[in-house]
A and B are shown apart, each in its own frame.
Chain A
Amino acid sequence: MYRYDEFDERFVRERVQQFRTQVERRLDGSLSDDEFKPLRLKNGLYLQLHAYMLRIAVPYGTLNGKQLRQLALIGERYDKGYGHFTTRQNLQFNWPQLKDVPDILDLLADVEMHCIQTSGNCIRNVTADQFAGIAKDEVEDPRPTAELLRQWSSLHPEFAWLPRKFKIAVTGAEHDRAAIKVHDIGLKVRRHPDTGATGYQVVVGGGLGRTPMIGKVIRDFLPKDELLAYLEAVMRVYNAEGRRDNKYKARVKILVHEIGTEEFVRRVEAEYAQLDGPTVNAPESEVARIARYFAPPAYEALPEDSAVLDAARRADPALDAFVAQNGFAHRQPGYLALTISLKPVGGVPGDMTSEQMRAFADIAERYSFDELRVTHAQNLVLPHVRKDDVPRVFEALKAAGLATANSGLVTDIIACPGMDYCALATARSIPIAQEIAKSFADERRQAEIGPLQIKISGCINACGHHHVGHIGILGLEKSGKENYQITLGGDATEAAALGERLGPGIDAEAVPGAIETIVGTYLKVRTDGEAFIDTVRRAGLDPFKASFDAYVAGEPA
Chain B
Amino acid sequence: MTVVTPTGEVPNDYVRIESADDLTTVQGPLLAPLALAGAAVEARRNDRLGLSVANDTKVDAIAPFFDAIDLIAVEFPSFSDGRGLSLAKRLRRAGFAGRLRASGPLIADQFAEALACGFDEIQLPETMAARQPVAQWLAAKDIVTEHYQSGYGADRSILQKRLAARKG
Say yes or no: B86 contacts A157, CB within 8 Å.
no
The residue on B at minimum CB distance from A158 is B85
Say yes or no: A158 contacts B163, CB within 8 Å.
no
| B159 / chain A contacts, CB cutoff of 8 Å | 151, 282-283, 286
Interface flag for B150 (CB, 8 Å): yes
Least Cβ–Cβ distance between A89 and chain B, in angstroms: 21
Interface flag for B145 (CB, 8 Å): yes
| A152 / chain B contacts, CB cutoff of 8 Å | 148-149
Q: A25-B136, A38-B80, A239-B82 are known contacts. Are A157 and B152 too (CB-CB below 8 A)?
A: yes
Most chain A Cβ neighbours within 10 Å, of B81, B113, B149: B149
Bound CA–CA A10/B166 (angstroms): 19
Interface flag for B161 (CB, 8 Å): yes
Say yes or no: B160 contacts A283, CB within 8 Å.
yes
Q: A18-B143, A239-B82 are known contacts. Are A154 and B148 too (CB-CB below 8 A)?
A: yes
| B80 / chain A contacts, CB cutoff of 8 Å | 38, 121, 161
| B109 / chain A contacts, CB cutoff of 8 Å | 18, 22, 39
| B131 / chain A contacts, CB cutoff of 8 Å | 29-32
| B139 / chain A contacts, CB cutoff of 8 Å | 21
Say yes or no: A35 contacts B107, CB within 8 Å.
yes
Interface flag for B151 (CB, 8 Å): yes
Interface flag for B147 (CB, 8 Å): yes
Most chain A Cβ neighbours within 10 Å, of B82, B87, B90: B82
Say yes or no: B145 contacts A10, CB within 8 Å.
yes
Interface flag for B1 (CB, 8 Å): no
Bound CA–CA A282/B162 (angstroms): 11
In the complex, identify which listed stretch (A272-280, A510-518, A547-555) lies at the interface while the others stay far away.
A272-280
Say yes or no: B147 contacts A158, CB within 8 Å.
no
| A439 / chain B contacts, CB cutoff of 8 Å | none
Q: Residue A286 contacts which of B89, B146, B162 (CB distance < 8 angstroms)?
A: B162
Q: Which of A140-181 contact B (CB under 8 A)?
A: 151-152, 154-162
Q: Which of B37-86 contact A (CB under 8 A)?
A: 56, 79-83, 85-86
Q: Residue B158 contacts which of A39, A151, A156, A160 (CB distance < 8 angstroms)?
A: A151
| B150 / chain A contacts, CB cutoff of 8 Å | 228, 279-282
Q: A14-B144, A240-B56, A280-B151 are known contacts. Are A7 and B83 too (CB-CB below 8 A)?
A: no
Q: Which of A345-403 contact B (CB under 8 A)?
A: none
The residue on B at minimum CB distance from A280 is B151
Interface flag for B93 (CB, 8 Å): yes
Interface flag for A11 (CB, 8 Å): yes
Q: Which of A266-310 contact B (CB under 8 A)?
A: 274, 276, 279-283, 285-286, 289
Q: A161-B82, A236-B86, A280-B150 are known contacts. Are A155 and B144 too (CB-CB below 8 A)?
A: yes
Interface flag for B116 (CB, 8 Å): yes
Count residues of B near A (Cβ-Cβ below 8 Å). 44
| B147 / chain A contacts, CB cutoff of 8 Å | 155, 157
Q: Which of B85-135 contact A (CB under 8 A)?
A: 85-87, 89-90, 93, 107-110, 112-114, 116-117, 131-132
The residue on A at minimum CB distance from B131 is A30
Q: Residue B144 contacts which of A11, A279, A289 (CB distance < 8 angstroms)?
A: A11
Interface flag for A244 (CB, 8 Å): yes
Bound CA–CA A202/B80 (angstroms): 28
Say yes or no: A158 contacts B93, CB within 8 Å.
no
Least Cβ–Cβ distance between A539 and chain B, in angstroms: 48
Bound CA–CA A152/B149 (angstroms): 6
Interface flag for B36 (CB, 8 Å): no
Interface flag for B15 (CB, 8 Å): no
Least Cβ–Cβ distance between A126 and chain B, in angstroms: 13
Bound CA–CA A228/B140 (angstroms): 27
| A35 / chain B contacts, CB cutoff of 8 Å | 79, 107
Interface flag for A17 (CB, 8 Å): yes
Q: A25-B136, A35-B107, A236-B89 are known contacts. Are A160 and B145 too (CB-CB below 8 A)?
A: no
The residue on B at minimum CB distance from A5 is B162
| B163 / chain A contacts, CB cutoff of 8 Å | 283, 285-286
Interface flag for A15 (CB, 8 Å): yes
| B90 / chain A contacts, CB cutoff of 8 Å | 236
Q: Residue A240 contacts which of B86, B117, B146, B153 (CB distance < 8 angstroms)?
A: B86
Point out residues on B near A: beta carbons under 8 Å: 56, 79-83, 85-87, 89-90, 93, 107-110, 112-114, 116-117, 131-132, 136, 139-140, 143-153, 158-163, 166
Point out residues on A near B: beta carbons under 8 Å: 5, 7-8, 10-11, 14-15, 17-18, 21-22, 25, 29-32, 35, 38-39, 121, 151-152, 154-162, 228, 232, 236, 239-240, 244, 274, 276, 279-283, 285-286, 289
- Could you list 26 A-B pairs, sorted by A, with CB under 8 Å? A7-B162, A8-B158, A11-B158, A14-B144, A14-B146, A15-B144, A17-B143, A21-B139, A29-B131, A35-B79, A38-B80, A151-B159, A152-B149, A157-B85, A157-B116, A157-B117, A158-B86, A158-B152, A160-B113, A161-B81, A161-B110, A239-B86, A276-B151, A283-B160, A286-B159, A289-B162
Known contacts A152-B149, A286-B162, then 4 further A-B pairs from the complex at CB < 8 Å, ordered by chain A residue: A17-B143, A18-B140, A25-B136, A161-B110
